[in-house]
Amino acid sequence: MKSVRFTRFGDPDVLEIVELPDPHPGPGEVRIAVRAAGVNASDWKKRAGLMDRELPQTLGYEAAGVVDEVGDGVTGAAVGDRVVGLSGHGGAQAELAVLSDWTALPASVGFAEAAALPTALETAARGLDRLGVAGGSLLLVNGASGSVGSVAVQLAVARGARVIGTASPAGHAYLRTLGAEPVAYGENLVRDVRALAPDGVDRALDVAGSGVLPELIDLAGGPGHVVTLADFAGAHEHQVTFSRGDGGRALHVLDDLGDLIAGGRLALPRVHTFPLGDVVEAHRTGEAGRATGKLVLINC
């Protein structure tokens, strides 16, 4: 099968499309013929040598496609099913991928849009779970208009929370469509949030990592009411929880995907697609901030 791989660290040109042996699912896993695979910032961080240091590496942890092989003990999927999910093995940016967690893909959802969802869904749900966001909560999401932040807003609203979200003024109309009350980034953040919530908020989720943890702590009444998904150094400095997947993943949210979409509680993301063979250009576009939606590689 064709797969994205790199054998040395560097700029996007180190990425190659290579032939690798076909993977096969283990117990409880399925293999899919990949129709679309998500690309995330962690991919170019790995490629640049800023994360995992082993070589060679393949890339990709989220994909959508058609089941073509099932492992022992699988009862929730059959060959020919359209599914979307996460690969515990990586290597989903390929013609074939093994998924360790998946859900049926509603007929109304295209493969590219579906492949843009799993990582953002799990990351957002994990942050909300660790904050204990539920009905009646007042939540502040810092970085609410991005791929993870916008999902966090929608999941929190679906749980019955009131949500205030930070974004640039250009993103405020979009946040309102998601059910959030927008405020702008910047030096007036605390003032603007307190104009909407004079007593502050119950919880704060930092998706942007923009150096505002002290302000979030002030608004949420202490570091125990704040979780960051993006500011590791700030979390250590301010005794805030830094949420990462190796501390327990919120895979339960995949089971809710179909109902969230069917119920109009989760808007499908905008996607910026590239053929699998154009992965180098996809990385250049993402790193330069030129993407017009979530980056997705497609196999036609």
pTM (2 d.p.):
0.91
Mean pLDDT over residues 36-65, rounded? 94
As separate numbers, helices (DSSP H) first and strands (DSSP E) second, the chain gives 11, 16
Cα 155 to Cα 166: distance, rounded to the nearest angstrom: 16
Are 131 and 80 within one domain? Answer: no
More confident residue, 228 or 76: 228
Asked if residue 257 belongs to a domain, the reply is no
Window from 83-92, 132-141, 238-247, 278-287 with minimum mean pLDDT: 238-247
Residue 260 maps to a domain: no
- Are 169 and 238 part of one and the same domain? yes
DSSP E strand boundaries for the chain: 2-6, 16-19, 30-38, 57-58, 62-70, 82-86, 96-99, 101-104, 138-142, 162-167, 181-184, 203-206, 226-228, 241-242, 271-275, 294-298
Residue 256 lies in a domain: no
Q: Is residue 259 part of a domain?
A: no
Contact by Cβ (8 Å): 145, 117:
no
Closest CA to 142 of 208, 93, 81, 60: 208
Is 18:5 a contact under the CB 8 Å cutoff? yes
Q: How far is CA 156 from the centre of its chain?
A: 15
Task: Give dist(CA 239, CA 264) in Å, integer.
Answer: 37
Judge whether 252 lies within some domain: no
Is 25 contained in some domain?
yes
Indicate whether 152 belongs to any domain: yes
pLDDT of 149 higher than 90: yes
Domain count, the chain: 2
Q: What is the pLDDT of residues 171-193, one digit of tens each?
A: 999 999 999 999 999 999 999 99
pLDDT-based confidence at residue 292 (cuts at 50, 70, 90): confident
> What local confidence, expressed as pLDDT, does residue 244 receive?
79
Cα separation, 207 vs 52, in Å, equals 22
Orientation angle between helical segments 147-158 and 118-131, nearest 10 degrees? 50
What average pLDDT does this structure show over 95-120?
A: 95
Q: Dihedral of CA 152/155/158/159: which sign?
A: negative
**Residue-number span of the structural domain to which 172 is assigned:** 123-247
Compute the Cα dihedral for 10, 14, 15, 20 and give only its sign: negative
**Are both 235 and 278 inside the same structural domain?**
no
197: CATH: 3.90.180.10
Answer for the pair 15, 287: CB distance below 8 angstroms, yes or no.
Answer: no
CA–CA dist 154, 174 (Å, integer): 12
> Are 131 and 243 contained in the same domain?
yes
Sheet of 57-58, strand order: 16-19, 2-6, 57-58
Q: Which pLDDT score is estimated for 48?
A: 95
CA–CA–CA angle 136, 141, 147 (5° rounding): 120
| pLDDT, averaged across the chain | 95
Q: Is residue 191 assigned to a domain?
A: yes
Alpha-carbon torsion, ordered 251, 293, 90, 25, to 10 deg:
70
251 — pLDDT class (breaks 50, 70, 90): confident
Is the pLDDT assigned to residue 38 strictly greater than 80? Answer: yes
Q: Say what percent of the chain tops pLDDT 90.
A: 85
